[in-house]
Structure 1
Amino acid sequence: MLRDEIITVFGGSGFVGRHVVRALAKAGYRVRVATRRPHLAQDLRVMGVVGQVQLVQANLRVAASVERALDGASGVVNLVGVLNESGRQTFSRLHAVGTATIAQAAAGMGIERMVQISAIGASADSASRYARTKAEGEAAVLAAMPDATILRPSIVFGTEDSFFNRFAAMARFVPALPLFGGGKTRFQPVFAGDVGKAVLAAFERSDTRGQTYELGGPGVYTFEELMRFILDEIDRPRFLLPLPWAIGKVIATVSELVGALPLMPVLITRDQLVQLQSDNVVADDAKGLADLGIAGETVEAIVPGYLERYRRYGQFHERQA
């Protein structure tokens, strides 16, 4: 049965956003997806019954479009963000200024509930511009809406993720995978579906108001362990090459220059390299998935199902001895 509440989801057409839209729609909420290109997100409509999921055009640089997307809503979720800067899509414009635009508009329109998707490592003191602007976004949200809920995921995995897919795809064409800093950095990957559940819990539970949660899955892995896991799943033996941070900076610089060319992917940026120098795990004193009543899916249970396409013969590949 559909509820009367409308929740506007900014960035709902993205990888994580689709899981958030699905979780809210399944719970009966009316979902309004605010996106720059609604014509590319028509598949979201089938995540609910007819008319339950609406699409609306919105651009964070145009305040009027943000207000139009929020009109009549009782809650708002902001997932807008980028991993790499490109043109006008900068960390500052999206993570800080754009987030402030949403929060201030929501507060001015009397909306009481907001969920902000940030990231583990967000800090005003971070050497990473990504992490600093995520922290600026958090501050802007809490200044406008003190009862907002902040969710900070570790790296997020799922069928369309940009971590496991990126390195699995790379392994098809290169003889070695890089271990920046020796591959000792620790990660606590969280399933995109669990992030969706966390957003739903933030709206369903009153004890989440004004709280910050760090979202990490059941397992903690080093970067090297994740690379070995990927190679084992796609059955492509590759050499793992430890690289000092200084060499990594050179590679990241070249990667950014190459990535500026048409149709050329960016392997890693200098800012991402800075992020790699700090563990990306849930802090010991932080609230997490368990505090939201979510057990969390494991990497081992989900990732193999979509990495099989990177095997030599896909799902029909016979593992080598």
Structure 2
Amino acid sequence: MASNLDTTVTVFGGSGFLGRNVVRALCKRDYRVRVAVRRPELAGHLQPLGRVGQIHAVQANLRYPASVEAAMHDSHIAINLVGILAEGGGQTFDAVQAKGAGTVAGAASAAGARMIHVSAVGADDNSASGYYRSKAAGEAAVKAAAPSATILRPSLLFGPEDQFTNRFAALARLSPALPLVGGGANKVQPAYVGDVAQAVADIVDGKGKDGGTYELGGPEVLTMREVMQIILGITERERMLVPLPFGIARLMSLVLQLAPGALKLTPDQVAMLRTDNVVSDAAKSAGLTFAGLGITPDSIEGVATQYLWRFRATGQFQKKSA
């Protein structure tokens, strides 16, 4: 019987937030992992996730097809995780998330490899958000090049080192108030990054439906106001939640798109907040969800408690109220 060590899985974008968790999950299942990134010399932090020689970093940039084809040499499975939240220089939504996705799928098809592509809940050709439009275009490009490809659409990802819960917890430490764009009424279904990584690894194992599009959301549908309240509860901070109309938020984003770190807000991100980010009824009825893969997802409150404590006034030593 062949070992998983005989299977090479090339993970594009494997050094990112989701990528690190996917690489860890694949290593636990004994796959040989090739991590394709723009700067392989900066991917050394991945090595402890596997055994000696199990993880190999190579250079690849989705905007340069030759580098993608080289990264796929003798590979059996391709996983595309590459995505950006904000555009900068040559890293545009279209170049990375639309054309880039098609480039990976084309290289996988040419190599005779299986293709797994991670998109996003909310991908829509008609969205007001360029991010979501490019995600939809990327899915179409993947399907055109590799019709049997499996697509995974996670909702908002959370977990240690995320740019979601940590961002707002950091803001709460600095500011007496937190803004709720559009009033915070839009709905989200946060998915734990470890659960999504498990779903990717399960698809690599051969579970799931070839050509299927899975939508991966956590166990709870929450408004952004409720998410903020959960974060404030875990960090034990009392902050005002101030509604911010979309029009004002967009004007502010014209300036804040240049801000660093947690303060950054782009016009496209404001547009994204105009729509709900939840698993569709169609995906549920078709069994194309976590449940369809036999995964019981973790809640944001259950997991975030394990890492957001560091944002409390005195960290893990914060006294519990009576």
TM-score category by the smaller chain? over 0.9
Structure-2 residue corresponding to 1:275:
272
TM-superposed deviation, 1:206: 5.4
C-alpha distance in structure 1 between counterparts of 2:4 and 2:138, whole Å = 32
C-alpha distance in structure 1 between counterparts of 2:207 and 2:24, whole Å = 21
- CA RMSD in angstroms, aligned pairs only: 1.4
Is the aligned partner of 1:250 residue 2:251?
yes
Gaps of 5+ in 2: none
C-alpha distance in structure 1 between counterparts of 2:176 and 2:82, whole Å = 35
C-alpha contact (below 8 Å) 2:159/2:193 kept by paired residues: yes
Structure-2 residue corresponding to 1:181:
182
Structure-2 residue corresponding to 1:193:
194
Change (3 A) 1:72 1:231: same
C-alpha distance in structure 2 between counterparts of 1:153 and 1:207, whole Å = 15
Change (3 A) 1:305 1:61: same
TM-superposed deviation, 1:41: 1.3
Change (3 A) 1:146 1:276: same
* Residue of structure 1 aligned with 2:76, choices 63, 74, 77: 74
TM-superposed deviation, 1:320: 5.0
Structure-1 residue corresponding to 2:53:
51
Identity of aligned residues (%): 51
TM-superposed deviation, 1:266: 4.4
Partner of 2:178, secondary structure, is: strand
Structure-2 residue corresponding to 1:297:
298
Partner of 1:208, secondary structure, is: coil
TM-score (structure 1 length as normaliser): 0.95
C-alpha distance in structure 2 between counterparts of 1:230 and 1:265, whole Å = 15
Matches of residues 29-178 of structure 1 in structure 2 within 5 Å?
Answer: 29-111=31-113, 113-178=114-179
C-alpha distance in structure 2 between counterparts of 1:16 and 1:264, whole Å = 19
C-alpha distance in structure 2 between counterparts of 1:199 and 1:242, whole Å = 37
- Which amino acid letter does the alignment assign opposite residue 33 of structure 1? V
C-alpha distance in structure 2 between counterparts of 1:280 and 1:296, whole Å = 16
- Which amino acid letter does the alignment assign opposite residue 126 of structure 2? D
Partner of 2:241, secondary structure, is: strand
Structure 1 stretches of 4+ with a deviation exceeding 3 A read 263-266
Structure-2 residue corresponding to 1:236:
237
C-alpha distance in structure 1 between counterparts of 2:112 and 2:181, whole Å = 47
Aligned residues: 316
Partner of 2:281, secondary structure, is: coil
Gaps of 5+ in 1: none
Structure-2 residue corresponding to 1:216:
217
Larger CA deviation: 309-318 vs 215-224: 309-318
Q: Residues 158-217 of structure 1, C-alpha deviation per residue, up to 9 Å, x if partnerless?
A: 101111000100111111101111111111000111111111121223542000000001
- Which amino acid letter does the alignment assign opposite residue 77 of structure 2? G
TM-superposed deviation, 1:20: 0.6
Q: Residues 126-182 of structure 1, C-alpha deviation per residue, up to 9 Å, x if partnerless?
A: 111000000111001000100000000000011011110001001111111011111
- Which amino acid letter does the alignment assign opposite residue 204 of structure 2? F
Larger CA deviation: 163-172 vs 33-42: 33-42
C-alpha contact (below 8 Å) 2:185/2:224 kept by paired residues: yes
